[in-house]
Amino acid sequence: MSSYRAPWWLPGRHLQTIYGAVALRRAAPPYRRSRWEAPDGDFIDFDHLDGPADAPLVVLFHGLEGSSQSHYATALMHALAGRGWRGVIPHFRGCSGAPNRLARAYHSGDADEIDRILGQVAAGESVPPFVAGVSLGGNALLKWLGREGANAGARVRAAAAVCPPLDLVAAGAALRRGFNRLYTREFLRTLKPKALAKLERFPELFDRTAMQAARDFDAFDDLYTAPAHGYRGVLDYWTRASSKPDLVRITVPTLILSARNDPFLPAAHLPGPHELSDSIILEQPDTGGHVGFVAGSFPGHLRWLPERLIEFFEASARRAVAGPVSIEPPAMG
Active site residues: 135, 262, 290
Residues 271/245, Cβ–Cβ less than 8 Å: no
Residues 304/293, Cβ–Cβ less than 8 Å: yes
Residues 246/149, Cβ–Cβ less than 8 Å: no
Q: Give the per-residue SS3 of the chain.
A: CCCCCCCCCCCCHHHHHHHHHHHCCCCCCCCEEEEEECCCCCEEEEEEECCCCCCCEEEEECCCCCCCCCHHHHHHHHHHHHHCCEEEEECCCCCCCCCCCCCCCCCCCCHHHHHHHHHHHHCCCCCCCEEEEECHHHHHHHHHHHHHHHHHHHCCCCEEEECCCCCHHHHHHHCCCHHHHHHHHHHHHHHHHHHHHHHHHCCCCCCHHHHHHCCCHHHHHHHHHHHHCCCCCHHHHHHHHCCHHHHHHCCCCEEEECCCCCCCCCHHHCCCHHHCCCCEEEECCCCCCCCCCCECCCCCECCHHHHHHHHHHHHHHHHHHHCCCCCCCCCCC
